[in-house]
Structure 1
Amino acid sequence: MKSKTLLFSLLTTVGLTTGFNANAQFGSLFQKAKDKAAQKASDAFDKKTSSTSTSPSSSTSAPKGNRAIVNTGFDFVPGDTVLFAEDFASVPVGASTKAVKTNGSATIVSVNTESGKWLNLADHATYKFSRQIFYPKHFTVEFDILTSADKISDIYPVTFGFVTDNSIRDYISSGGAYVTLKYYNNNDVSVDSEYLSKYLNSNFDLTTFTNRKMHVSMIVDGDRLVVYLDQTKLADTMAFLPTTAKNLYISGAMQYQNGAKAMVSNIVIKGFKKV
C-alpha cells in the first residue's frame, strides 16, 4: 500500500512537471512570435519613414535634372527704313573698301567656311563710315562678327559703339557708349557708357564663336541702348545723354596672337518711319 502511494505521488509530480514545462515552452514560443511581429512592424515603419524623407516629391528638395529652363525670347525689331547697308559684295578680295574710313587698313577678305566677303579688322584700327549718316532718335544696327583663331583668347579685344564725332584720327579701344568683346577672357562682355559713368559686365560664352560668326543687334531709342549677341540680350539700359550725337564705330583688337583675326560684314542700319 505504501509503495502504491509512493508511485502515485511520483506520477503526479512527473505529470505536473511535464505540464509545467509544456506550458513554459508554449509561453516562450508565444513571446518569440510577439517579439518577431513587433520587430517586423518596427522595420516597416522605419522603411516608410526613410522613404518619405528621401522621396523626390518632397517639398524640401527638387528632383535632380529637372532645373527650370528660362526662355527670355528675342524681342528685337529692326527698323523699316534703310539708312546704310554694306556686305562688301562688290569689292574684290584683297582690295580696300571705300564704304568705310580707318586709321589702319580696310582690306576685304573671303573665308572658306563662310559665304560672302568680310572687312578684316586690323589691330589698333578703328572703322567708321565714309559717308556721314544722320541718325534719327530711334534706329537699329545689325552686323556679323567672324573670328579666325586657334583659340578665342588669342584676340584682345574687339570693341564697337557710338561716339559723338565721325573722325578716325585715333584708335578707339573704349569710348562713348560701347560694347567690348573680351575674347581673351573667353566669357566676358561689357556694355559701358562714359556719358553716364555706367559699366556693366556680363558672362557670355565667346568660345562657342571661335571660327564661327556671331550676329550683333542693337537698338538705340533716344538715350536708351539695347544690345543683343546672337539673340541673347545683354543690356537694356540708359547709355546716352538727351543731347548726345551718335556715330557708330568698330575697332579691331589691340592685339592678335598666333595669326588670329576678327572680321565684320552684313552691316545694316535702319530707322523708323514717322507715324
Structure 2
Amino acid sequence: MKSSFVCKSLAASLGLMLAFQYSNAQFGNILKKASDKLEQKANDAIDKGVSGTKSATTADTGTISTGKKRISMNSVFDFKAGDSVLYASNFDKFKAGAMPPTWKTNGSGQLMKSGEVAGTWLEMQNGASYKLNQNYKLPETFTVEFDLLTSCDKITDISPVAFGFAENNSVASFNEGSIAVTELEFYNNNKVTSFANPVDKYISTEYDLSKYANDKVHVSIAIDHAQMKVYLDKTKILDSKMFKDDVRKYFFVSAPLNAENDAKVYISNVVIAK
C-alpha cells in the first residue's frame, strides 16, 4: 500500500517536472522569436537610414541621374555677306615691305608674306590704328569681313586687338573717334568685350581665344542701321544695338597697345560690301 503511494507520488512529481520543462521551452521559443523580430526591425531601420544617407549624399554632389539625355541645341551661322563689293584689300597687288596705299595709320605697318600661311598680310605696329584712305560714309546696311593672324609664344602675350567703327576717318590718335568697338582680349585667354559709349552699351562674352595662337580667325561683321552683329569664325559673339540713328560709320582696326616676347598681329582679306 505504502509502495503504491510512493509510486503515485513519483509519477506526479515527474509529470510536473516535464510540464515545467515544456513550458520553459515554449517560453524560450517565444522569447527567441520576439528577439529575432526586434533584431530584424533594427536591421531594416539601419538599412533604410544608410540608403537615405546615400541618396542625400548623391543629391548633394549632383550626381543623381535624371534618366534623360542632356538637351543640346545647334547654332545657326546666319551671316550673309553683301552682294556688291565696296572695297577689297587685295594686298597681293602691292609691294611687300610697304604700307598699303589704300590704308592710313597713326603709326606704321608693312606688307609681309609667310611660307606657312597663304596670302599677303599687313603687319600692325603696336599702338597703331588703321583706317581706309577712302573718305566716305558707309551705307546704313553693309558687311565687313577680314582675317586676323597671330604669331606668338602664347596667346596671352598679346593685349587686346580692337576693331569696329568710328564717327570720323581721322587717325590722329589710337582708336580715334571710336563709337562701337569689339576687343579680342587675347591676354585674358577667353574673353571678348564689345562696347558703345554713345548708347551706353557694354557686353562681355566668354570665348576661347587660345586656339588662335599662331593661327588665323575670320571676323564677320553685319551692320543693319543701328544693329551690329559680330562673328568669330562662325560663332556669333555680338548681336545688339550699338549706334544712334543715322550716325556716320568708318571702319577701323587697332593693333595691341603691347605685346610680349615679340608677338605680332597681322590683318588681311578685308572685304566691305553692301
Q: Please state which structure has a larger fraction of its residues in helix.
A: 2
Give unmatched runs, 5+ long, in structure 1: none
Identify if the C-alpha distance between structure 1 residues 176 and 50 changes in structure 2 by more than 3 Å, giving closer, same or farther: closer
Identify if the C-alpha distance between structure 1 residues 18 and 70 changes in structure 2 by more than 3 Å, giving closer, same or farther: same
Identity rate, percent: 32
Match of 1:99 in 2: 102
Match of 1:177 in 2: 180
Q: Which secondary structure state, in structure 2, belongs to the residue aligned with residue 89 of structure 1? A: helix
CA contact (8 A) 1:173 1:251 kept: no
Give unmatched runs, 5+ long, in structure 2: none
CA contact (8 A) 2:137 2:248 kept: no
Per-residue CA deviations over 1:158-207 (Å, capped at 9, x if unaligned) read 11111122233333277222212222222332212233233333232322
TM-score normalised according to structure 2 size: 0.83
Q: Which secondary structure state, in structure 2, belongs to the residue aligned with residue 245 of structure 1? A: coil
Q: Which secondary structure state, in structure 2, belongs to the residue aligned with residue 80 of structure 1? A: coil
The question of 1:257 aligning with 2:260 is answered: yes
Q: Which secondary structure state, in structure 2, belongs to the residue aligned with residue 107 of structure 1? A: strand
Q: Which amino acid is 1:124 matched to? A: G
Q: Which of 43-52 and 167-176 deviates more?
A: 43-52
CA contact (8 A) 1:76 1:217 kept: yes
Match of 2:240 among 212, 237, 241: 237
Residues in 2 aligned to 1:166 and 1:106: alpha-carbon distance in whole angstroms: 18
Q: Which amino acid is 1:75 matched to? A: D
Match of 1:270 in 2: 273
* Two-structure CA RMSD over aligned residues (Å): 3.1
Alignment: residue pair count: 268
Residues in 2 aligned to 1:67 and 1:241: alpha-carbon distance in whole angstroms: 41
Match of 1:28 in 2: 31
The question of 1:223 aligning with 2:214 is answered: no
Q: Which secondary structure state, in structure 1, belongs to the residue aligned with residue 198 of structure 2? A: coil
Match of 2:205 in 1: 202
Alignment of structure 1 residues 75-224 onto 2, 5 Å: 75-172=78-175, 175-224=178-227
Deviation at 1:80, TM superposition (A): 1.2
CA contact (8 A) 1:87 1:116 kept: no
Residues in 2 aligned to 1:260 and 1:147: alpha-carbon distance in whole angstroms: 7
Residues in 1 aligned to 2:11 and 2:258: alpha-carbon distance in whole angstroms: 121
Q: Which amino acid is 1:233 matched to? A: K
Identify if the C-alpha distance between structure 1 residues 32 and 197 changes in structure 2 by more than 3 Å, giving closer, same or farther: closer
TM-score normalised according to structure 1 size: 0.83
Identify if the C-alpha distance between structure 1 residues 182 and 9 changes in structure 2 by more than 3 Å, giving closer, same or farther: same
Deviation at 1:142, TM superposition (A): 0.8
